[in-house]
Amino acid sequence: MTEKLDLEREGLSKEQALDLLRQMWEIRMFENRVYDLLGRNVIKGASHLYAGQEAVAVGAISALRDDDLITSTHRGHGHCHARGASLTKTEEERVTHYNRMLAELCGRSTGYCLGRGGSMHIADVEKGNLGATGIVGGNIPVATGAALAQQMMGTGRVVLCFFGDGASNTGNFHESLNLASRWCLPVVYIIENNLYGMSVPFCNTSALLDIADRACAYGMNKAVLDGMDVMAVHGAVLEAVERARQGEGPTLIEAKTYRYYGHSRSDPRAYRTKEEEQEWHDRDPVEAFAKRLVESGICTQQEIDALEEKLEDQIDAAQEFALGSPFPDPADLEKFVYAPFKWVEEDHARERRLRQLCREGGPGTKTITYRQALADAALEEMRRDDRVFVMGEDVGLYGGAYGATRGLFQEFGFARVKDTPISEATIAGSAVGAAMSGLRPIAEIMYVDFTPLAMDQIANQGAKNRYMFGGKTIVPLVIRTEGGAGRSIAAHHSQSLEALWTHFPGIYVVMPSTPFDAKGLLKAAIRDDNPVMFIEHKMLYNSEGFVPDEDYVIPFGVADVKREGTDVTVVTYSRMVLRSLEAAEQLAEEGIQVEVIDLRTLKPLDMETIAASVKKTGRVVGVTEAYKTGSFISELAVRIQEEVFDWLDAPIVRVTAADVPVPMSEPLEDACIPSVSRIIAGIRQVLA
């Protein structure tokens, strides 16, 4: 006998209970229709259906306030629908929501993400849905960072983070739970355990019967519940949300559920038996709740039937809307990759004036180190904007591995200078979530060699979210790191990996060479609305130079001609600027005039300055401390060939590091990277 439902005890009205049923039915009908459209190749690409799991999304999201947040997964249609439907106030809004969801899956311009996200990345960030991700577990650090933002801003909001059982075996899961528990963040992690990752049973990948038992390792609250019972989910999540809202920290909830379809449309489900599938279908969450409502005397079967019939018409109308909508205009292909620049000509003119002033120093300037320039930039921006904060390993009292955050902790304390665990993926992912939720994080990854550990979070979440979600979000995030050789610390701490980061659309790459550039560019990066990979050089921290007394920023995409010349153009950045200038001075004694261009920002790239120099000299040498194969200088050489080939009088010469792991022994390390003599040799080669 089904247990009768006591709405008064559950804190629900009849209308709210029927709305839960309606939402679950809408998700089921939506998924069944998507399955049909996939089979007819009307919907393209991969789509991972949510049918069978409706009680989890609807029950959990019904426990939220309107201003709370969620993050979702590649199987996220249910989350997107439940969140959007919970916020609709009128029938017209409800219909529009349903229409825009299906339009997105059909790749149409009327979809929530304007056709750029599709099934695996469906979201309406304007309604507090921070997005779905195609990377298993990729949303967990983002949710953690969003919760950090709510805690820091004191909003009282809570974040729900949905993911599957397979994600609980990823490093993101463990790193995030550890950090969220230690910092007592207002986040509820919801595992939708549908028994299978893709085809492998979860019981074959873990010795634990209940995934939620992992909560004890992090001192977290936990709950294991029937994910086919919408009221069980609602009650457990409501309790967890209220704990989080009261400052009692995160909860790990495991909802035992079942996906009716396979991993994707092409999955034959050979790893499951018909008997197993039937057992779960016999517990169908939609039918069970409808039956319970009738048997509890809350509504009649006629009311249930009328609701279901109305929803059939709704999905037909949504399909008509979606397929009748236009595809996105290919002319708009590049829209929304980056948030637009805010620089005006006045900014450029002011920077040129201050740059010239700081060439020689004098009144209105002071001499500081590169290290101090970075610390001052962060300090000034944190004073100017209380949304700015610093997080990373040893950035607090210690002051950073290379001292670039010294003094910040003393002024701002842990509230805004946060020492993290050694968890690069979660440092980066939390920064992404915090940035999407209203803050402006500066996240330090101690060495650029370690940034690949966070590549998914930076490149797949931070750099792509604005574009994937139709330009409806910004990700104002700075990743500070350092690279380069010179300290005999070998291959894992001495690389120049900037080419990795220039490859990804949606992220800027900045590499300053002087204190003036370091301070002005870091301040610009903090104020920018895009993710910025800010790469310093370990051998520059003690270098000195002039900076202006007044506040200033350096607009992105503006190279600096550090030395003018007429015979050959040397294009370089970071530490190699100093070596190239030294080479140019030596050659000047022979009457060879070398123009040295400091790129300062690799993305955006100032091709105008480069082209003007090439047209003047006709010869180009590119200098980089990175490996030769696949280096950014190699990419730049192609750009020069494409855009100013007619002005070249000789082939472009590259002076790069050797294609070997950076060795520890000082003589080998010196031989590995460009020296002044090698740069001179490259210049002589292009002049020969």
Give the 3-state secondary structure of residue 662: coil
| Contact criterion met (CB below 8 Å) for 21 and 93 | no
Give the 3-state secondary structure of residue 252: strand
Cis peptide before 604 (omega within 30 of 0): yes
Catalytic residue among 192, 254, 424, 498: 424
Instruction: Give, as one character, the DSSP assignment of residue 566.
Output: S
Q: Which of 472, 401, 393, 488 is nearest to 436 (CA)?
A: 472
| Contact criterion met (CB below 8 Å) for 57 and 30 | no
According to the 3-state scheme, what is the secondary structure of 298-350?
CCCHHHHHHHHHHHHHHHHHHHHHHHHCCCCCHHHCCCCCCCCCCCCHHHHHH
Q: Report the amino acid identity of residue 412.
A: F
Strand-pairing partners, residue 533, are 479, 509
Looking at 119-229, list the stretches that DSSP marks H as alpha helix, in order from N- to C-terminal side. 139-153, 171-183
Is 590 labeled as catalytic in the residue annotation?
Answer: no
Q: How far, in whole angstroms, is CA 107 from its chain's centroid?
A: 22
Token digits of residue 77: 């249609």
Which residue is associated with the tokens 């801003």?
A: 153
N residues, the chain: 688
Which residues, in sequence order, are CB contacts of 368 under 8 Å at separation 6+?
Answer: 376, 515, 544, 545, 547
DSSP state letters, 87-147: H--SHHHHHHHHHHHHHHHTT-TTSTTTTSS-GGG---GGGTB----SSTTTHHHHHHHHH
Looking at 385-535, list the stretches that DSSP marks H as alpha helix, in order from N- to C-terminal side. 408-412, 424-436, 455, 465-468, 498-502, 515-527
CB atoms within 10 A of CB 41: 8
Q: Which of 629, 636, 666 is nearest to 497 (CA)?
A: 629
Is 424 labeled as catalytic in the residue annotation?
Answer: yes
| Contact criterion met (CB below 8 Å) for 242 and 212 | no
Which residue is associated with the tokens 């519940």?
A: 225
CA dist 644 and 649 (Å) reads 11
| Contact criterion met (CB below 8 Å) for 416 and 379 | no
Token digits of residue 512: 């300053």
CB atoms within 10 A of CB 243: 17
Separation in Å, CA 467 to CA 131, 220, 429, 461, 551: 12, 35, 17, 10, 32
Catalytic residue among 81, 97, 121, 493: 493
Q: Which uninterrupted H or E stretch holds 276?
A: helix 274-281
Instruction: Give, as one character, the DSSP assignment of residue 584.
Output: H
Strand 544-548 versus strand 365-369 pairing type: antiparallel
Active site residues: 424, 493
